[in-house]
Structure 1
Amino acid sequence: MPRVSRKQADLNREIIVEAATRLFRERGLHGISVVDVMGAAGLTHGGFYGHFESKEALAVEASDRAFEQVAGRWRERIGTAEDHAAARRALVEPYLSTASRDNPGDSCPVVAFAGDMCHESADSALRETFMTGLNRLLDTLSQLMDSDDAASNRQQALVQYSLMVGALTLARATRGDALSDEILEAAKGFLGAVPASPAPR
């Protein structure tokens, strides 16, 4: 059998990471096997260990890729917004859309991976990747708040993003029932009405 070229090997590795990024978001970091990933990539199982030393090593890279994809989309949406309020809407509306609910493989990695993180040790590479990605998104959202107080902006970002994640999770759990759409609409309405910083007393 002819040896695979370096260019082809690099392409195969990229295909594997992309397939894993989608599958992990659809089924969770521990919900798929190497065979599943390689099948989705259209490659043979035996070639996996020529690219990665373990499934966990792939999961770390795929998790990082998922967060970077979302961070990139956030940057694009923010970049076309005319002010902070418009930027927040540009993030919230697609995040809490039916398309986001119905396509987990291309959606929020926080929703996809949070359950798995409950079972990871504090010093695991997977948890470190998750924490880095989560904090990057929270920092981005914090910068879209209108208070002059950084601590207040951070608190607002924590509350709003927690609501976004919780609403999307519940909407997926109730998909097929009218409650699912109701949850998405209620969360979007609430976030659109919430002031970016605490109102003066």
Structure 2
Amino acid sequence: MRYVKGHGLQTRGRIVEEASCVLRQAGVDGVSVADLMKLVGLTHGGFYSHFESREALVIEAFASAMDRTMVQWRSHTKGMPADEQFDAFIEAYLRSGHRDDRAHGCVLPALGTDIARSSRKARGVFARKLDEMIGVIAGLLPGKSQKQARQIATGALATLMGSIALARAVGDNKLSDEILGAGRQALSGQSARRKPLTASGVRRPNKNCKETNDHD
């Protein structure tokens, strides 16, 4: 049987897309190559004409999922006023719909712990993509220095990932919603301008301004 030009790439793309969903839903060890190939209508033997190993597919699948996630983040905040983008991103990430759609949600809470137990190569690819994700979030923080923006973005991403992972784990809708709400509260106001910290961790008063007893 003859195939049109590009058929192999289309098939590979289908396998990667299906794998990215299944892996987020079932985990790295939750699906076999045979089961995955059945989902895309191919035989087990056909797998190795597209990928040299199962690990190669896993790496490509989670990298693809991370790329898609970043596209979604950019799309969601596109056209918004710059000072509203970070808070809108937080609200979108920590919504119940994201918590409930594991297969199509952010790959970090779904596969982060699995990747930590994977090969050095897998962790290396993950780290590069994670760095890109931090950069996307840092870009939602206008008025911050690059160092400040990356620091806030890194902390925010860790909070977001942990909040979704815990919210999914508890299996209690009331507690799960409470976790999401706590995550939103923890990150609220992070995009606002703040007084710099001194070495002792006390906020330095702004020049020409009276010091107030704010507890932000």
TM-score (norm 1): 0.88
- The alignment partner of 2:51 has SS state of coil
Q: Which residue of 1 aligns with 2:19?
A: 20
Q: Which residue of 1 aligns with 2:92?
A: 94
Q: Which residue of 2 aligns with 1:170?
A: 166
Q: Which residue of 1 aligns with 2:30?
A: 31
Which residue among 116, 119, 139 is the counterpart of 1:118?
A: 116
Give the stretch that moved more between structures: 163-172 or 137-146.
137-146
Partners of 1:11 and 1:138 lie apart in 2 by: 30
Q: Which residue of 2 aligns with 1:150?
A: 146
Is this contact kept in 1: 2:33–2:44, CA < 8 A?
yes
Q: Matches of residues 123-138 of structure 1 in structure 2 within 5 Å? A: 123-124=120-121, 126-138=122-134
Gaps of 5+ in 2: 197-203, 205-216
Partners of 1:117 and 1:58 lie apart in 2 by: 13
Q: Which residue of 2 aligns with 1:78?
A: 77
In structure 2, give the amino acid aligned to 1:94.
A
- The alignment partner of 1:144 has SS state of coil
Compare the two structures and name the one with the higher helix fraction.
1
Structure 1 residue 147 displacement after superposition: 4.4
Structure 1 residue 119 displacement after superposition: 1.5
Map Cα deviations across residues 39-89 of structure 1 (whole Å, 9 max, x no partner).
2223222211111111111111111110110111111122221123x1112
Partners of 1:109 and 1:61 lie apart in 2 by: 13
In structure 1, give the amino acid aligned to 2:90.
V
Is this contact kept in 1: 2:82–2:142, CA < 8 A?
no
Is this contact kept in 1: 2:138–2:150, CA < 8 A?
yes
Q: Which residue of 2 aligns with 1:181?
A: 177
How many residue pairs were aligned?
Answer: 197
Taking structure 1 as reference, are residues 44 and 137 closer, same or farther at Cα in structure 2, changes over 3 Å only?
same
TM-score (norm 2): 0.83
Is this contact kept in 1: 2:24–2:104, CA < 8 A?
yes
Structure 1 residue 129 displacement after superposition: 1.6
Partners of 1:31 and 1:37 lie apart in 2 by: 10
The structure with the largest alpha-carbon Rg is 2
Partners of 1:179 and 1:135 lie apart in 2 by: 31
Aligned-residue RMSD, C-alpha: 1.9
Partners of 2:58 and 2:183 lie apart in 1 by: 31
Map Cα deviations across residues 67-112 of structure 1 (whole Å, 9 max, x no partner).
110111111122221123x111221112111111111111111112
Partners of 1:7 and 1:158 lie apart in 2 by: 39
Percentage of identical aligned residues: 34
Q: Which residue of 1 aligns with 2:209?
A: none
Is this contact kept in 2: 1:26–1:112, CA < 8 A?
yes
Q: Which residue of 2 aligns with 1:104?
A: 102
Structure 1 residue 4 displacement after superposition: 4.4
